[in-house]
Structure 1
Amino acid sequence: MNMDALLIKEDEVDLSAIRAQGAGGQNVNKVSSAIHLRYDIPASSLPEDVKARLLALRDSRITQDGVLVIKAQQHRTQESNKFDALMRLQALVDSVARPPTVRKPTRPTRASRQRRLADKQQQSQRKAQRRGALDA
């Protein structure tokens, strides 16, 4: 299975239309164009390692029960907000789909050690010259 494209099943996503907040006049007051998306991560069909990485995210949109809540209200139409919410969910899942690469510890090269020591010696000489000027 290609890890780059984990598809989210539509029946696992709970979408509900709500009234949007903020400015917008009569349209905002009358029409339920905002979308409230709820995605239960532990009950989803995602691979276990992806679920674990999703739940480990320090994201305020993930509840204590492991439910991801996304509210989309940028657009005027319900369809646009629904698409926006689903795209944001997909982007979040894609961001944790590939496991993080493990850092391999390396040692400094001989040349970099020599450069560091030369810089330290130069700094030491610079400070020693300053001391000499104060003693005189």
Structure 2
Amino acid sequence: MLNSEVLVQELQFKAVRSSGAGGQHVNKVSSKIELSFDLRNSAAFSERQKERLLAKLNHRLTKDGVLLMQCGESRSQHKNKDLIIKRFLALVKASLVVPKKRIPTKIPKSVIRKRLKNKKNLSDKKVNRRKPDLD
């Protein structure tokens, strides 16, 4: 269903400098990876899949329908690239899952009878606790 080789070929990567502390190393090495994926112009998905992805990922997409992700966890550019590809594939796979439609179950008559019987017993118990009417 999901052809990851075709998807990975459509991805665009850009290496940028990581933010935060790190001394001289962080100032001279571009190890952070930014991934961009143009969902609307992708050939890897059918129109139905694109609609589902657009609906599920609309908060992560730009106005042009481009998904942007970034990873700067490792000091290695290659590790960051592998991490971001794995995250991207997991995100796409999770977004394409169609949830099962819930079928409401019918409550059995014996369960309804049992509930009403318990209510009646509790009511009778409370009635018996009252002071008797001597009129």
Same fold (TM over 0.5): yes
Is 1:25 equivalent to 2:51 in the alignment?
A: no
Structure 1 residues 77 and 101, CA, compared in 2 at 3 Å: closer, same or farther?
same
**Structure with higher RCO (Cα < 8 A, 6+ apart):** 1
Tell me which structure has the larger Cα radius of gyration: 2
Unaligned runs of 5+ in 1: none
1:50–1:96 CA contact under 8 A, matched in 2:
no
**Identity over the aligned pairs, expressed in percent?**
38
Q: Which runs of 5+ in 2 are unaligned?
A: none
Change in Cα spacing, 1:20 to 1:122, as seen in structure 2 (3 Å) is farther
Distance 1:104 1:31, change over 3 A: same
Match of 2:90 in 1: 91
Paired residue for 2:32? Answer: 34
Equivalent runs, 1:29-68 vs 2, <5 Å: 29-45=27-43, 46-57=45-56, 60-68=59-67
Residues 6, 116 of structure 1: CA spacing in aligned structure 2 closer, same or farther, 3 A cutoff? farther
Measured on the aligned residues, the alpha-carbon RMSD in Å equals 2.6
Whole-angstrom distance in 1 between the partners of 2:29 and 2:124: 74
Instruction: Give the Cα separation in 2 of the matches to 1:21 and 1:118.
Output: 67
